[in-house]
Every structure is written in C-alpha cells, then in structure tokens.
A and B are shown apart, each in its own frame.
Chain A
Amino acid sequence: MSEAVVTMNNISYAYEHKKVLDHVNFEIPRGAFMGLVGPNGGGKTTLIKLILGLIKPDEGDIQLLHEPINKFNQWNKIGFVSQKANSFNRGFPATVYEVVSMGLTAKVGYLRFFNKTHKAKIRQAIDQVGMLDYVNENIGNLSGGQQQRIFIARALVNDPELLILDEPTVGVDFENVKRFYELLHQLNEQRNITLLLVTHDTGTMTEHATDIVCLNKQLHFHGDPKAYAALSEKDFSKFYGHPVNLVIHDH
C-alpha cells in the first residue's frame, strides 16, 4: 500500500450539537489526485479545516506527513486554495508577482527579506501556471480563471507536497475549467503533488482524479473513478439522503 500524506482516524466533529462528521476514517495516498464530493453541509469544508489545523476534532486523530497534527509544523508543505480566493477584493492593487510572493511570507519568516532565490522561485511558480506574461499586471484586471491560476501559483511557490483546493472552479467558465484541470493533472503527474480537490463538478473531475471520496457526515464511498461511475442511483440516493436521478452529459 502506498504511503499516506494524510491519515484521519475515527474523526468526529460537531458545531455546537450538530454533528457534521461522524467517525470518518480515510487516507490520502501520496501522489493521489483525490476528488472529494458530497452534498452541502456534508462536512467537506469542515474536513479541510481539520486537515489545515484550523479546528480540532472532537474525537479521533489526524496525521500529516506521518506526524500527529498537534506536533506538525511544516505547514508550508501544505498548499491551500480556498473557495474565497476568487471572492477577494478585486480592487486591491496587487500585481501578480506581489500576490504570488505572499505564498513565501511565512516560509521566509519574520525579520527576513526575499532574496534572489526567493524572487526566482516566485517567477518560476508564475511560469508553471502559464502566467509569466502577466507578472506585472494587477490581479483585479485578470479573468476568474487566470486569477485562480495565480492563487495556485501562490500555493506552488512553497513546493507543497499536498495541495488542497476548495471548490476552485466556482464562477469559472467551461473552457477555463478544462484548462484548470489540465494544469492540476500536470502538477499531479509531473511534480508528483498530491491533490485534494473539493468540487461539485464531478463530470470533469472524474476524468482526472485517481481517487474519489463521497462524504455526507460519514464516508460513503472511497474508490477509483471507474468504481464511482458504476455507482447506481440507489447508491447516490443513499449517499445524498434523498432520491437522486442521474443525468449523464458531456460537460
């Protein structure tokens, strides 16, 4: 069995008295491109917050890169592109270079300045997402898809081992979503970055993911895209908690 980047053992979490995660066990294998799907309120964002150490589980334990989360301090190895990334203040006067440089702020540390290596790294990350032509452009002037690439570059600048993306394609048009997935695929294949992608867009995701996890308070499914495609309406209805009619379409 391949090495796990994240291990969650018997995780439960409740907001006040409302349980959102109920004894969840799962692992993210190194090198996986994992799609995390589930209904709204099913605990997807909570799961991510737990992995990022923003909240602590009521029960169970989490290991990141083989270390218990309470002792883990290599946060720069975990990149995060939030759902909010595309709802930032578009009037904020920051160039693409400046936004990507923020990814290095914590790694460089207090009372230290960016050196030549850091500056080269920033340009390299922008190049990786194919946005080097826009390096001095204000981020507010870019399209939604381009902005999302910049936020990925901000995460990539730290050479993360795990990249977590929370519904990154919301508000991005179909063509750009396609390009976006191609970029993720490339990062996963060529740079061996483990990906955890929360999405409602199961169509495009299943073309690229190696693992799919369905979460609705409990883990209902964990398998490869083939096994996911073989799930029946009955399985989905059980998983979503209400009757589901499957519609297969090209987009």
Chain B
Amino acid sequence: MLADFFEYDFLRHTFLTGILIGLIAPLLGTFIVVRRLSLIADALSHVTLAGIAFGLFLDKKFAIAWITPFYGGMIFSVIGSILIEKLRGVYKAFQELAIPIILSGGVGLSVIFISLADGFNTDLFNYLFGSVSAVSRNDFFTILGISIFILIVIGLFYKELFTLSFDEEHATISGIHAKRIHLLFIILTALVIAASIRIVGVLLVSALMTLPVAASMQLAKGFKQMMFLSVAFGELAVIGGLISGYYLSIPPGGTIVMISILILLLSIGYKRLSVTSKKRRTAHEHA
C-alpha cells in the first residue's frame, strides 16, 4: 500500500511532509487547546489563504514567481499572528474579538486577490483542501526547516509555555515575560499553519491542531502524556488520511479530518466505558 509513496519522488515528499506536520501541528495544538485559543488557528489559516491568493495574483498578473503562494501564505500568517496579538492588547476585556476581526480580514483579502488573479484554479483548490501531489522538493525542505525550528523552540521554552498556559497571572508574577513568550508562541502557530496547508488545506488545518488534542484529552494523565498521545493520534490520522486519500482520489484534508474524528469518537467511547466499569466496580465493592 505504501509502495507508491516511496517509488515516486512527489509522493515521498508528501509522505515525509505529512509525518512532519503530524508531529508539529498536534504538538503546538496542545498549547492552543489548553489556552482556549482553538479559533486562532482558524483565523490564521484564513489569513494564510489571503497570502496564498496574493502569491497566485503576483505570479499571474506580474509574473513575480519568487513570492510563491506557499511563501506568501507564510508571510501573511506571521503578520496576521502579530496583528492578533496587538488587537488582543487593544481589547483587553474582549480579547476574543481579535479572532473574528483577523478572520474576516483574511477572507476579505482572499476574495479580492482570488478575483484579481482571475478566480479559482486547481492550484487554489489544492490549497483549500490539501493535496497528495502538491508538495515540491523545495516545499519539503522549507517545512523540514520550520519543523526543526519549532521542535527546538518548544523544547527550549516548554516550561515557560506550559506555566503560561496553566496560569498566566502566576507566571507573570513569578517573573516570566508573558507577552514575549506569547508572541513567540503565536508566531510558531502561524508557521505551523503555513507548513500544514500543503497537506490538509486552509479549511481543515485547524482540525489537525485541535482534534488529536481533543481525543487525547479524554485519555491522558498529565500534560506531557497528552502531548505524546496527541502526536500519536495526529500521525495516525495524517498517514491514514494520505494513503486513503491517494487511493480513493480524494483530497487528503478530508480523509485526515475524518480519521481524526473517528479517533476522537473512539476515545470518547473508551473513556465512557472505562468510567462506567469503574463505577460498577466501586458499587460492587461497596455491596
């Protein structure tokens, strides 16, 4: 089943990229979910779409090829993340307002650039829903670089990110630079989203950051265990989704998300069963 993925270069790049994003998206997703910032991934993915459309527009209208849609998306995503942080500072009492503002801004810009670039084409469709054949050798090495960078930064700042996620007030009092760490975190999120879009697509990228975490939350004891389980579920969904997407000729974004939902349902079911049997055992012991 996997033979094709190793035989053809483009499939190999897709497969290896899939493994990378199956690692980094749920890894960062654990922090996003516990900080109740799941919608930030959605806002940033829509800003990324604007960047992709901007790249397509430059290429079509002005034949500027050095800002590829992939790089355009990454630049817009990082700028969007910084703007979200600024807006959260402006609306301190209503920080969630930053998300719809940036999300609608992203969609608005996307519509403008898509029409200026003469509407939809196959490439844009791939960016929306992901593709098994869209990852070039260059894209792969960029995503590899991003992944290594993200792993190093998370490794180095794990304890600060964790402390901030649990109790921002305590973290600030104890002397952690909450604003700087938060900015770093949101830029990492923007990079993960830009890196993941080639495989899962703009519309489904936030699912890869949140669904594996939602599933592992049902089962994990402690934060580190939740992180490991999220990554395991993420990898399972990405590998399963890529293979099934390829053989069924379906964009992998859809299959990856559906496998993630299946894992989520199974983990909820497992948790319920174990809670019920525990209750029964306790009742039996007391009887």
Does B284 lie at the interface of the complex (its beta carbon under 8 Å from any beta carbon of A)?
no
Contact of A110 among B157, B173, B223 (CB under 8 A): B157
Contacts of A154 in B (CB 8 A): 170
Stretch among B109-117, B120-128, B214-222 lining the A interface: B214-222
Does B144 lie at the interface of the complex (its beta carbon under 8 Å from any beta carbon of A)?
no
Contacts of B159 in A (CB 8 A): 101-102, 105, 108, 113-114
Contact of A76 among B156, B170, B171, B174 (CB under 8 A): B174
Contact of A75 among B169, B173, B222 (CB under 8 A): B173
A101 CA to B160 CA in the complex, in Å? 11
| Interface membership of chain A positions 96-115, coded 1 if the CB is closer than 8 angstroms to chain B and 0 otherwise | 01110111011110110110
Contact-residue bracket for chain B: 20 to 34
A76 touching B175 by the CB < 8 A rule?
Answer: yes
B173 touching A105 by the CB < 8 A rule?
Answer: no
Contact of A94 among B36, B160, B175, B223 (CB under 8 A): B223
Q: How far is the CB of B270 from chain A (nearest CB, A)?
A: 16
- A-B contacts, 30 listed (Cβ < 8 Å): A75-B173, A80-B170, A84-B167, A88-B166, A88-B167, A92-B223, A93-B217, A93-B223, A93-B225, A93-B226, A94-B166, A95-B221, A95-B222, A97-B222, A98-B162, A99-B166, A102-B159, A102-B162, A103-B174, A105-B163, A105-B176, A106-B171, A106-B174, A106-B175, A108-B159, A136-B221, A136-B222, A138-B221, A138-B222, A154-B170
Contacts of A80 in B (CB 8 A): 170, 173
A80 CA to B171 CA in the complex, in Å? 11
Residue positions of A touching B, CB distance < 8 A: 52, 54, 75-76, 80, 82, 84-85, 88-89, 91-95, 97-99, 101-103, 105-108, 110-111, 113-114, 136-138, 154
A93 touching B166 by the CB < 8 A rule?
Answer: no
- Give the 3 A-B residue pairs with the shortest CB-CB distance, closest first: A95-B222, A106-B174, A106-B175
User: Can you name the residue of chain A whose Cβ is closest to the Cβ of B36?
Assistant: A89
Q: How far is the CB of B144 from chain A (nearest CB, A)?
A: 23
Contacts of B226 in A (CB 8 A): 93
| Among A76, A93, A106, residue most surrounded by chain B Cβ atoms (within 10 Å) | A93
Q: How far is the CB of A242 from chain B (nearest CB, A)?
A: 31
Q: Please report which residues of chain B, range 123-149, place their CB below 8 angstroms from some CB of chain A when the two chains form the complex.
A: none
Q: Please report which residues of chain B, range 156-202, place their CB below 8 angstroms from some CB of chain A when the two chains form the complex.
A: 156-157, 159-160, 162-163, 165-167, 169-176
User: Can you name the residue of chain B whose Cβ is closest to the Cβ of A78?
Assistant: B173
Q: How far is the CB of A85 from chain B (nearest CB, A)?
A: 8
Does B86 lie at the interface of the complex (its beta carbon under 8 Å from any beta carbon of A)?
no
Contacts of B220 in A (CB 8 A): 93
B34 touching A92 by the CB < 8 A rule?
Answer: yes
Secondary structure dominating the interface of A:
mixed
Contact of B34 among A75, A93, A138 (CB under 8 A): A93
Contacts of A84 in B (CB 8 A): 167, 169
Known: A98-B224, A111-B156; 12 extra A-B contacts, CB below 8 A, are A84-B167, A88-B167, A89-B36, A93-B223, A93-B225, A95-B223, A98-B223, A102-B166, A110-B156, A136-B222, A138-B221, A138-B222
Q: How far is the CB of A67 from chain B (nearest CB, A)?
A: 15
A93 CA to B171 CA in the complex, in Å? 18
| Among A76, A101, A106, A111, residue most surrounded by chain B Cβ atoms (within 10 Å) | A106
